[in-house]
Amino acid sequence: MDEYLLIQKYFSNIGSAFLAEHNVEISVGDDAAVITPKDNIQYIHSVDTSIENIHFLSSMAPEDIAYRSCSVALSDLAACGANPEWYSLAITLPSPDGIWLERFSSGLRDFSDEFKIPLVGGDTTKGSLSITVQVMGTVKKGEAILRSGAKPDQGIFVSGLIGEAYLGLKELQNHKDENSNCSAYLRPKAQISLGRALVGIATSAIDISDGLLQDIELVCKSSHVGAKIYLDRVPTSTNDKSVKVINSGDDYQICFTAPMDKSMEINQVSEKLEIPITQIGLTTRSGKLVLLDELEKEMVIFSGFKHF
Ligand code: ADP
Ligand code: MG
């Protein structure tokens, strides 16, 4: 199959129902996409590469590989409180396998339909499987939630459950139970609605990709604050609240800080979106991250995922 036909067949018309609402005039097929900017907005841009057997397992369904690669990229936009607008995809493939591509394309469609954004372009090359997704979103000027906005004595909150993707991945690797629920790993949800709802409430936010504690440390560094985290308050589905379970990453939940007098508003957001939100600690003036056990004794922290 030649490259032109491959792009036509598997990468055009994905999310095209949403082109007009995002002002995309020209999409896949020309030399480049043409998009008209809206008034009084800021672009929120991010790009993420997913590599076989590092960011996903090669044994995963092609639909899930596509969805996961896109959703983890979009998760950065969720953490900024952005509205997603469109995405592009650079894919490197070992061979043009029609059945695999058809299924991959179907995963892209699931993603586009869920977040109502079109695929507007990309690049296709030959080599070992690697997927780079660029996402663009918008906020009203000044609205973006940054890592740098936390102040001392604010609450530290997380959405959902932590450690689900780690536990799911372990089951996938062990092939223990064909019916086991690994969706947290296979199809992590970018928390776009939550990010939007936190605009005006959260003082800082980050999506948890590399490990809860490690990612909180990044917020601390950017905001020049410290943090104390109570391990037994971290929401998990298992009784094993070990550092390993909570700090392995791949959660794609949102961790944010907010003044404690926003607690009522945070509860309302949680109820409205039906997303659990749990306070797991407080920011401090100390400049360092401290993990406390149930007796409030300081614990040793092992690091989460590191690329290098
Ligand atoms: P060029 O050689 O001029 O870069 P390409 O053949 O790479 O052109 O791309 C042709 C068109 O197809 C462009 O609009 C490009 O954005 C789109 N495209 C190529 N690969 C992909 C892909 N994997 N996903 C979406 N669009 C793609
Ligand atoms: Mg190209």
**What single string gives the DSSP state of each residue in 268-296?**
HHHHHHT--EEEEEEEESSSSEEEE-TT-
What pLDDT is recorded for position 175? 75
How many other C-beta atoms are found inside a 10 Å radius of the C-beta of residue 76?
22
What pLDDT is recorded for position 307? 65
Q: How far, in Å, from the CA of 119 to the mean position of ligand 2? A: 15
The ligand whose atoms approach the alpha carbon of 91 most closely is 1
Contact in structure between 86 and 119 (CB atoms under 8 Å): yes
Contact in structure between 185 and 250 (CB atoms under 8 Å): yes
Q: Whose CA is nearest to atom 21 of ligand 1?
A: 122
Contact in structure between 131 and 65 (CB atoms under 8 Å): yes
Q: Whose CA is nearest to atom 5 of ligand 1?
A: 123
| Continuous segment of H or E residues that includes residue 49 | strand 41-51
Q: How far, in Å, from the CA of 31 to the mean position of ligand 2? A: 8
Architecture of domain 3-140: 2-Layer Sandwich (3.30)
* Distance in Å from the first CA to the final CA of the chain: 37
How many other C-beta atoms are found inside a 10 Å radius of the C-beta of residue 222?
15
Ligand 1 pocket mutation pick from 86, 120, 124 by most atoms within 8 angstroms of CB: 124
The ligand whose atoms approach the alpha carbon of 28 most closely is 1
Nearest ligand 1 atom to the CA of 119 is 25
Q: Where in the chain is the domain with CATH 3.30.1330.10?
A: 3-140
Could you tell me the pTM of the whole model?
0.95
Ligand 1 pocket mutation pick from 1, 5, 27, 28 by most atoms within 8 angstroms of CB: 28
Q: Whose CA is nearest to atom 24 of ligand 1?
A: 122
Alpha carbon distances (Å) from 114 to 73, 189, 242: 14, 10, 33
Q: Where in the chain is the domain with CATH 3.90.650.10?
A: 147-292
Pick the CATH number of 147-292 from 3.50.50.100, 3.40.50.970, 3.90.650.10, 3.30.572.10: 3.90.650.10
Ordered strands of the 204-207 beta sheet: 204-207, 254-258, 155-159, 277-284, 226-230, 289-292
Q: How far, in Å, from the CA of 123 to the mean position of ligand 2? A: 5
Question: pLDDT tens per residue, the chain (308 residues)?
Answer: 789 999 999 999 999 999 999 999 999 999 999 999 999 999 999 999 999 999 999 999 999 999 999 999 999 999 999 999 999 999 999 999 999 999 999 999 999 999 999 999 999 999 999 999 999 999 999 999 999 999 999 999 999 999 999 999 998 888 765 556 799 999 999 999 999 999 999 999 999 999 999 999 999 999 999 999 999 999 999 999 999 999 999 999 999 999 999 999 999 999 999 999 999 999 999 999 999 999 999 997 766 667 67
Q: How far, in Å, from the CA of 122 to the mean position of ligand 2? A: 7
Contact in structure between 124 and 91 (CB atoms under 8 Å): yes
Closest CA to 5 of 69, 96, 139: 96
